[in-house]
Amino acid sequence: MPGIGRRLSKIIISLAIIRKVLKLVAEKEVIIMKRIKIKGMSCQHCVMAVTKALGAVDGIKDVNVDLKSGTATYAEIKTVDPAVVAAAIKKAGYEIVE
Ligand SMILES: [Cu+2]
């Protein structure tokens, strides 16, 4: 059958396009970086507590807490409600400063 080869190559091209789109979507999701300022951290234990609290939030990864500047940076791999982040910080005993 002469049509099979053409149909097969069409399917292969479609799969390649789908893969490319999926890759773009995935890259876009990981790129959202956030930075928040946190009040109340005074030592490395605080840094650990905040790091753990943020890391436990669904959708957050690559948490980096800096004691000196009192800031935390992290990546959001999906949309995270700021209220959920604020609640996690508060539960750990700290506060987000606007
Ligand atoms: Cu501390």
| Predicted structure pTM score | 0.70
How many Å lie between the centroid of ligand 1 and the Cα of residue 26?
36
pLDDT along the chain (98 residues), means of 10: 78 79 67 92 98 97 95 92 96 94
Instruction: Please give the torsion angle defined by the CA atoms of residues 11, 13, 18 and 19, in that order, rounded to the nearest 10 degrees.
Output: 120
Residue 78 DSSP symbol? S
How many Å lie between the centroid of ligand 1 and the Cα of residue 48?
8
How many Å lie between the centroid of ligand 1 and the Cα of residue 93?
10
Q: Which two tokens stand for residue 36?
A: 């928040």
Query: What three-state secondary structure class fits 68?
Result: coil
Phi, psi of 7 (to 5 degrees): -65, -40
How many Å lie between the centroid of ligand 1 and the Cα of residue 33?
25
How many Å lie between the centroid of ligand 1 and the Cα of residue 40?
8
